[in-house]
Amino acid sequence: MKRIYQLSMIVLIITISSIIIQSCCTEDFKIIGKGNIGAYYDYFNERNRTDTVDRAILIHWHLEYRVASLNDFGLIRSCYATRCAETFENELIESTLEISCDKDFEYNGNTIDHDSNFIGIDELELFFIKTYGSVEIVFTEDFLNKTNFDASDYVFTVKIHTTDEKEFIHSLKLHMDL
């Protein structure tokens, strides 16, 4: 009986120590590819996906990433469903975000030349979702009301750099019907 008690105390001490130690872990991700890009009405949801712009849209770009390392991994954490802190080895550099278009268009009476970066326009809303390696660019109603696009297809190209000096580029073809 004394032996069972000692054995159960050892198991209990190991379990408690493992929970305390293993719950302080990190899970490192690395952005490795251009991933997926799409245009959506209102919010990111496949049911809201569109390829025609006739009102405000959100361009959602989810870059491809993989687990780079999992530090202090243990079975106990899996059993107790605790999570590790998630970090990216190569984070997105927000100041390097660019968006351009393959055709000229007018904004507020001025011509925006094709292939020029127009990310600085105030009516565009930008969101960086670092925990998912995602970028969202919102073409707001204010932005669309101040623009003049021909009723045709436009290819929008989005570009961003990461802290490990990699450049990711993705394009999206949208029909402008404003």
C-alpha torsion angle, residues 15, 17, 23, 25 (rounded to 10)? -120
Contact 111, 104 (CB under 8 A): yes
Q: Whole-angstrom distance between the N-terminal and C-terminal Cα of the chain?
A: 81
Span 86-114, average pLDDT: 94
Q: What is the pLDDT of residue 46?
A: 84
Q: pLDDT, tens digit, for every residue of 10-45?
A: 888 877 766 665 555 677 889 999 999 999 998 888
Average pLDDT, the chain: 87
Give, in degrees to the nearest 5, the angle at Cα 133 between 63 and 141: 85
**More reliable by pLDDT, 47 or 135:** 135
Q: Containing H/E element for 7?
A: helix 2-22
Span 116-124, average pLDDT: 96
Q: What is the pLDDT of residue 163?
A: 94
CA distance 124 to 58: 10
Q: What is the pLDDT of residue 79?
A: 47
Q: pLDDT, tens digit, for every residue of 49-92?
A: 999 999 999 999 999 998 887 565 454 444 444 566 678 889 99
Of 1-5, 52-56, 153-157, give the lowest mean pLDDT range.
Answer: 1-5
Which residues are 86's β-sheet partners? Answer: 27
Q: What is the pLDDT of residue 72?
A: 53
Q: What is the pLDDT of residue 104?
A: 97
